[in-house]
Amino acid sequence: EKWPRGDEKTWKDAIRGVASDTPTITKSIVNHVQTSLARQPHNLDDLGAYQASALSVRDNLIVNWNETQLHYTRKAPKRAYYLSLEFLMGRTLDNALLNLGLKNKYNDSITGLGFNLEDLIDKERDAALGNGGLGRLAACYLDSSASQELPVWGYGLRYKYGIFQQLIAPDGQQLEAPDPWLDNQNPWELPRLDVTYEVRFYGHAERTENGRAIWSGGQEVLAVAYDVMIPGYDTKNTNNLRLWESKPKRGFDLNSFNAGNYEQAVESSNSAAAITAVLYPNDHTTFGKELRLKQQYFWTAASLADIMRRFKNMEKPISEFPDYVAIQLNDTHPTLAIPELMRVLLDDEELSWAEAWQITTNTFFFTNHTVLPKWPIPLMEQLLPRHMQIIYDIVTVEKQFPGDRDRLARMSIIEEGIPKQVRMANLACIGSRKVNGVAELHSELVRTTIMKDFVEHYGVSKFGNVTNGITPRRWLDQCNPGLSTLITESLKIPKAAWLKDLYKLEGLLPFAEKADFQKRWAAVKLSNKRRLAHYVETTLGVSVNTAAMFDVQIKRLHEYKRQSLNILGVIHRYLLLKTLTPAQRKKVVPKVVFFAGKAAPGYFIAKLIIRLIVNVARVLNSDPDTKEYLTVFFLPDYSVSLAEILIPASDISQHISTAGTEASGTSNMKFCLNGGLLVGTVDGANIEIAEEVGESNVFFFGHLTPAVEDLRYQHLYHPVPVEQKSPALAAVLNEVSAGRFGDGGVYEPLLNTIRQHDYYLLTDDFDSYIRALDMVDEAYQDRTEWIKKSIRTTAKMGKFSSDRAIQDYAQEYWNIESTKLENGTA
């Protein structure tokens, strides 16, 4: 190949590689201090040192990223695109250093410059562009795709404000504040101000011929690309996450400005910028809000235009699009990509309906993560007139569903009613090659309930399962370095060998019997508990008994997740402790119960649960009779970074959703990977975890999924008072009502959800929950046996690596192959 310009040697001598030795790293950090930051050694603080180090690491990422992208372009493999409205990335510096294998070198440099690497790592703000499990899953999948050298890009939105910051008022109420995460600059993104697309909203769609139309008028905004580099672990491959920012197409309206109407002049530019201003803080629920729909269309239109441009650069016939492009729809949020691809193929590429539909239905794959959101048709018709036409055409042209009227109505993309609604899940299913759920039980529920009619129509092979996974790089090596070191030393294989093939952890099984190893295992747990205790002491100003059992429940606040069951169980334990003599109390296992999680700002009952937890904590933690044996903490502002401290410190964690409601759960996997045991319901991935680690190592309780419907029916038509069903629970509810934890009246709406319909079956599960916790206490008394369970649990977590999940998607869904960047390939 001919060198494009100038003298080849001049270029090649100047092109830098990755800074991989300590002197070069030190130079690069100092260079960024001097030039990028314009600061001096004598006034450099931790934040500045973090920023300079981050910029230096980023230089390395860019080198690998650039080579990887060139390599992919040259090899032209089939690519997969992961469309997710949320990517909950957390911090990057530590992760990038570990994936690049440069943590020790950077540590040496930073120490040499008089700073402490761990302090610098703590200066980074979380990238919190997600609500919870769904967004964190997307982040784990990017790590696994890059680590396995798969040509996968993520597409999302660059929200100016991520998930809100949670504050807890003295009375226990959740308060929300904005999350201005970009205020300190973000070294981990690369603005691509030259990569832009125009996106249209509103206007008119006029049908022409052959199912085509011309869509014009309305509002046009610009999508600008920001690229986030995703380094693979132990490989040069560095993938891309492209996030779109919205901008006005033309700065502002000069005519209005000149006419003296300043407000009108900037109005349209403000409305364009508003599209990517903020992440919607709802997990599971979708409100029919215009701005949310605008976000969804803006993002899918820009992403598809970008994907189409990349495909066209390959100069292949358009019919081969599905041979080079697989698009994964992360829940229903990106479903508009289906009518959008149809629009592009029909109106721009001028394909026939049949050709366009053939391409579309071979390109998309749809993952269901929960129950089904819908959109009101009047809003869709106004905002996206052309897409509404296409949706109606899909309904009529693709009216393949035979059968009775009821069944046709259930399968329709359009739901009758006032107003009519678009069922995004039905559209996603009809427009996709395959559909999957995220754990065995959940996928079975998808097949037998929400998608039953479609299974009968398309056949069961369209409906698969990919059990979720987590990246062991962040969720063991990074968050629990002590355990990682112990594992590597014991297995006597390189760290990368088990981190890239997590089934190798099975090699730990024989060590479960060895007293010396048990001791070291327990010592790691204790030091992680001390790290958490230190965090609690510095943030809440209270000390924590690290000799106690640490019991953790951390997740979004939601009625179905039943944090209420946990706190009511805590009250039960407290009431019992109060009846014991001091001598009797000494025999009880001391326990510290940790909660963390955000409630959607509009979710009244969830916020009330937080308030109850905080007030129970206030009473218990200051009761001299019991505080040695039972304390409770609600840690504010749950985040990925806080999870990284909590998870390695847990002895037991709670995953106690009503059976059949938690699609999978992923923190359950993280706790087990770090040697924590589970107490849980027979739900989501808990079931598969128990299959792997053995039921004797999991504390199961509660009714099973098939019983749930009947119980709910009973609650409605043959209610039994709580006093009869569970006297223990009734006693607890009465204490709350009576004001033992502050004004009882405040909690009435929450208590009534339990006393009345009890949709989430607390009254049915309470007694067996308490028994399960008693079993946990009993097991914990025999510490050696407990440690053995802990070791065996970690050893059997191979299945839950996100590498396995991504392999499933790559092989069974996307049909893509690893495209490794060899040293110097590019």
Which residues are tagged catalytic? 369, 555-556, 561, 666, 670
Q: How far is the CB of 330 from ligand GL4 (least distance, A)?
A: 9
Among the listed residues 390, 378, 449, 457, the one whose alpha carbon sits nearest the alpha carbon of residue 417: 378
Angstrom distance (rounded) from CA 456 to CA 450:
12
Instruction: Please report whether residue 662 would count as binding ligand GL4 according to CB under 6 A.
Output: yes
Q: How far is the CB of 567 from ligand GL4 (least distance, A)?
A: 21
Nearer to ligand GL4, 133 or 334 (CB): 133
Q: Which stretch binds ligand GL4 (CB under 6 A): 133-141, 510-518, 587-595, 723-731?
A: 133-141
Token digits of residue 211: 């199912």
H helices within 501-579, ranges in order? 515-540, 563-579
Interacting span for ligand GL4 (CB under 6 A) from 583-591, 621-629, 658-666, 734-742: 658-666
Contacts of 5 (CB under 8 A, 6+ apart): none
| Residues 385-404: x where in contact with ligand GL4 by CB under 6 A, - otherwise, as a string | --------------------
Under the criterion CB under 6 A, does residue 735 sit at the interface with ligand GL4? no
Residue 469: CB minimum distance to ligand GL4, A: 10
Least CB distance from residue 132 to ligand GL4, whole Å? 5
Q: Cβ 375 to ligand GL4, closest distance in Å?
A: 16
> Measured between alpha carbons, how far is 42 from 34 in angstroms, rounded to an integer?
12
768 by Cβ neighbours in 10 Å (0-12 / 13-18 / 19+) ranks as middle
Please pick, from the candidates 664, 681, 793, 794, the single residue that binds ligand GL4 as defined by CB under 6 A: 664
Site for ligand GL4 (CB under 6 A): which residue of 283, 453, 477, 559? 283
β-strands 364-367, 434-437 pairing: parallel
User: Does position 438 bind ligand GL4 by CB under 6 A?
Assistant: yes
Shortest Cβ 260–ligand GL4 spacing (Å): 48
In this chain, which stretch among 156-164, 210-218, 657-665, 714-722 interacts with ligand GL4, using CB under 6 A? 657-665
**Interacting residue with ligand GL4 among 48, 232, 684, 798 (CB under 6 A):** 684
Instruction: Give the residue closest to ligand GL4 by C-beta.
Output: 133
Q: Answer yes or no whether residue 281 interacts with ligand GL4 by CB under 6 A.
A: no
Per CB under 6 A, 128 contacts ligand GL4: no
Two tokens at 100? 């690049």
Q: Which phi and psi angles does 160 have, rounded to 5°?
A: -70, -35
Distance, in Å, from the CA atom of 38 to the CA atom of 397, rounded to the nearest integer, reads: 63
Backbone angles phi, psi at 623, to 5 degrees: -90, 110
Give Cα 148 to chain centroid, integer Å. 20
Q: Would you give the binding string for ligand GL4 spanning residues 311-350, x where CB under 6 A is met?
A: ----------------------------------------
Closer Cβ to ligand GL4, 295 or 468, answer by number: 468
Q: Which stretch binds ligand GL4 (CB under 6 A): 263-271, 303-311, 388-396, 656-664?
A: 656-664
Burial 724-736 (b: 16+ CB within 10 A, else e): ebbebbbebbebb
Contact map string, positions 453 to 482, toward ligand GL4, x by CB under 6 A:
---------------x--------------
Using the minimum distance from each CB to ligand GL4, give the nearer residue, 237 or 295.
295
Near ligand GL4 by CB under 6 A: residue from 90, 130, 133, 702: 133
Residue/partner pairs of 489-493 with CB below 8 Å, 24 or more apart? 490/517
Nearer to ligand GL4, 71 or 442 (CB): 442
Q: Is 87 or 574 the residue whose CB approaches ligand GL4 more closely? A: 87
Binding flag, residue 450, ligand GL4 (CB under 6 A): no
Q: Cβ neighbours of residue 443 under 8 Å, at least 6 residues apart?
A: 436, 437, 463, 464, 465
Nearest CB to ligand GL4, comparing residues 55 and 663: 663
Rounded to 5 degrees, what are φ and ψ at 465? -135, 135
Distances (CA, A) of 52 to 109, 184, 263: 12, 13, 40
Number of residues that bind ligand GL4 (CB under 6 A): 16
State in angstroms the smallest separation of the CB of 140 from ligand GL4: 10
806 binds ligand GL4 (CB under 6 A): no
Distance CA 137, CA 664 (A): 11
Residue 268 pairs in a beta bridge with none
Looking at the Cβ atoms of 123 and 655, the one nearer to ligand GL4 is 655
Nearer residue to ligand GL4 within complex by CB, 466 or 810: 466
Which residue in 147, 370, 553, 641 binds ligand GL4 (CB under 6 A)? 370
Alpha-helical (H) ranges within 122-238 are 133-147
Which one, 72 or 299, has the nearer CB to ligand GL4? 299
Alpha carbon dihedral 232, 236, 242, 243, in 10-degree steps, equals 60
- Residue burial 590-625, b: 16+ Cβ < 10 Å; e: rest: bbbbbbbbbbbeebeebbbbbbbbbbbbbebbebee
Partner residues linked to 176 by β-bridges: 166
Is 284 a binding residue for ligand GL4 by CB under 6 A? The answer is: yes
Q: In the chain, what is the greatest distance between 2 CA atoms, to the nearest angstrom?
A: 88
Instruction: Tell me which of 90, 130, 132, 464 binds ligand GL4, using CB under 6 A.
Output: 132
CB 468 within 8 Å of CB 85: no
CA angle 677, 681, 684 (to 5 degrees): 90
665 binds ligand GL4 (CB under 6 A): yes
How many contiguous H segments (helices) and E segments (strands) does the chain have?
36, 24
| Residue ranges in contact with ligand GL4 by CB under 6 A | 132-134, 137, 283-284, 369-370, 438, 468, 662-666, 684
